[in-house]
């Protein structure tokens, strides 16, 4: 068996693909190396829900056969990856991170798993998640069947969001990339906290067939990886129409950042207050440096604010109404009491009291929000803001604690961008941009629907000029 150097665990998809094609190691050898690392270190971060060694090695042998016969399938061929445990892998438990579903097994793979297998990628494990993707709200990071996902940069800190296992696994070099999901922040938070690159695609770009539903009109599946380029290559493989998911938009995606308009023609909207008053004092120099970097691209920088709407309450009403319907049987049967987080149990029970008139009112306000953002994106092409205003929280800290600035900021800036753009269904790219006390920070780029190539082109340029996305946590070594 070829020796796999440590650098391979933090290599980009293109780098891994080139090494496979050059026969520096086989797909089986690469899969075994990542499996060994995932099985050894995954429990250290509570990131692993289930290893898939036997099936992964079977797929790897098929890849080696195809490579030997010169049957290329693209950059993802032979690349190991992991999936959040809300995605079905046929014949294996899909627990949704929750005790009531610990023995649940599906007969078919999720559509995204099928598409990645067709591209030659190899699923080596299911990754830990917050129970039911956080449906109903949760107060502590320990709201999971596998315990709190620990941050590879500091295990006393949270990996963040319901896709926390995916974020931790990529950050620790346990997988080259992972799939997560976002309904209201579950890709942005682990990407920001763990210092990896994440992409939340436009609503409808990626099929959710075979994924746990939390909110039919908000759920999105997307990648977390080493770089913006990696995210583009993954989206190319998983995007597209699916008759089994009526929410799909019927659009395929081709990663082609070279065809994006020249940067000098792009308008980036930002709010100075986001990088100053709203951010925690210790983070401000890092965020300002990131802002300066984007200003150096030659784009037109435009100061903006997002429209004034109650984004959080609107999203929570819609999410609660839909989750209450989806998990009605769990709640009515009393099985909901087996969940780990008391706040989440109470929150799911409370969804049964949401009235149709309140849900419909929230949907009407959502339409107004969508119209307002359409007008905003007539003025700018991209919005730029910190992904999260602070570093990862400590594991024992309550997640509903509110951090408020010491002084009232001069403007609202782009605060509320995460719930707002999840309501709108807009794409977002999350980029590591520096560290405070050894913990990662990130910025986000948000665009109009189906503008992923523009976001990815800007992200790739930023990562050409910086190396934050290449930093490695010492605990993962």
List all residues 6 or more positions away from 118 whose beta carbon is below 8 Å from its beta carbon: 73, 237
Token pair belonging to 340: 């780990």
Query: Residue holding tokens 């719930």?
Result: 419
Give yes or no: 84 in active site.
yes
Question: CA–CA separation, 475 vs 44, rounded Å?
Answer: 10
298 Rama sector, left if φ>0, alpha if ψ -120 to 50, beta otherwise: left
Question: CA–CA separation, 31 vs 81, rounded Å?
Answer: 9
Per-residue exposure over 82-94, b if at least 16 CB sit within 10 Å of its own CB, e if not: bbbbbbbbeebbb
Question: CA–CA separation, 305 vs 286, rounded Å?
Answer: 21
Of the candidates 12, 184, 186, 227, the residue annotated as catalytic is 186
190 Rama sector, left if φ>0, alpha if ψ -120 to 50, beta otherwise: alpha
Of the candidates 11, 26, 162, 166, the residue annotated as catalytic is 162
DSSP 238: H
Token pair belonging to 78: 């032979």
Of the candidates 32, 84, 111, 126, the residue annotated as catalytic is 84
Question: CA–CA separation, 165 vs 169, rounded Å?
Answer: 6
List all residues 6 or more positions away from 422 whose beta carbon is below 8 Å from its beta carbon: 182, 183, 184, 185, 200, 218, 220, 315
Question: CA–CA separation, 64 vs 77, rounded Å?
Answer: 9
Q: Residue ranges of the alpha helices (H) in 177-303? A: 188-194, 228-238, 272-275, 284-295
Q: Per-residue DSSP letters for 99-163?
A: GGGTT-B-SS--HHHHHHHHTT-EEEEEE---GGGGTT--SSTT-STT-PPEETTEEEEE--STT
CA torsion sign for 13, 14, 18, 19 is negative
Give yes or no: 162 in active site.
yes
Give yes or no: 227 in active site.
no
Question: CA–CA separation, 163 vs 161, rounded Å?
Answer: 5
The dihedral formed by the CA atoms of 160, 166, 169 and 175, expressed in degrees to the nearest 10 = -160
Active site residue ranges: 84, 162, 186
């Amino acid at each position: 068996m070829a020796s796999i150097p440590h650098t391979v665990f933090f290599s980009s998809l293109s780098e891994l693909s080139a090494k496979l094609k050059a026969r520096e190691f086989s797909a089986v050898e690469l899969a075994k190396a990542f499996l060994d690392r995932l099985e050894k270190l995954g429990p250290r971060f509570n990131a692993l829900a289930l290893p898939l060694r036997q099936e992964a090695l079977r797929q790897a042998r098929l890849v080696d056969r195809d490579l030997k016969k010169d049957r290329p399938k693209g950059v993802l061929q032979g690349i190991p990856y992991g999936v959040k445990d809300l995605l079905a892998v046929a014949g294996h438990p899909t627990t949704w991170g929750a005790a009531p579903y610990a023995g649940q097994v599906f007969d078919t793979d999720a559509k995204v798993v099928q598409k990645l297998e067709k591209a030659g990628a190899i699923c080596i494990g299911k990754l830990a998640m917050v129970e039911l993707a956080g449906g109903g709200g949760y107060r502590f990071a320990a709201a999971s069947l596998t315990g709190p996902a620990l941050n590879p940069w500091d295990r006393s800190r949270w990996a963040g969001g319901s896709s926390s296992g995916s974020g931790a696994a990529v950050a620790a070099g346990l997988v080259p990339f992972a799939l997560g999901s976002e309904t209201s922040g579950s890709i942005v938070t682990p990407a920001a906290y763990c210092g990896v690159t994440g992409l939340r695609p436009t609503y409808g770009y990626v099929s959710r067939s075979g994924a746990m539903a939390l909110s039919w009109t908000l759920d999105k599946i997307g990648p977390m990886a080493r770089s913006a380029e990696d995210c583009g290559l993954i989206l190319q493989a998983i995007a597209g129409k699916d008759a089994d998911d009526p929410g799909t938009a019927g659009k395929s995606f081709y990663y082609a950042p070279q065809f994006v308009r020249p940067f000098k023609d792009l308008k980036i909207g930002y709010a100075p207050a986001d990088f100053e008053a709203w951010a925690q004092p210790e983070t401000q120099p890092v965020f300002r440096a990131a802002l300066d970097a984007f200003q150096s691209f030659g784009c037109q920088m435009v100061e903006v604010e997002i429209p004034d709407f109650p984004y959080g309450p609107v999203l929570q009403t819609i999410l609660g109404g839909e989750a209450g319907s989806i998990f009605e049987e769990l709640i009515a049967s009393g099985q909901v009491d087996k969940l780990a987080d008391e706040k989440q149990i109470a929150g799911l029970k409370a969804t049964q009291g949401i009235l149709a008139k309140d849900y419909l009112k929230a949907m009407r306000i959502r339409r107004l929000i969508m119209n307002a953002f359409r007008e905003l994106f007539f003025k700018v092409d991209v919005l730029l803001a910190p992904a999260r205003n602070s570093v990862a929280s400590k594991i024992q800290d309550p997640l509903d604690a509110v951090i408020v600035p010491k002084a009232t900021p001069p403007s609202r800036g782009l605060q509320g961008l995460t719930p707002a753009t999840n309501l709108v269904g807009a794409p977002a790219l999350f980029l590591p941009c520096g560290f405070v006390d050894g913990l990662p920070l990130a910025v986000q780029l948000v665009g109009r629907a189906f503008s992923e190539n523009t976001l990815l082109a800007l992200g790739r340029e930023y990562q050409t000029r910086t190396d934050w996305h290449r930093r490695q946590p010492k605990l993962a070594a």
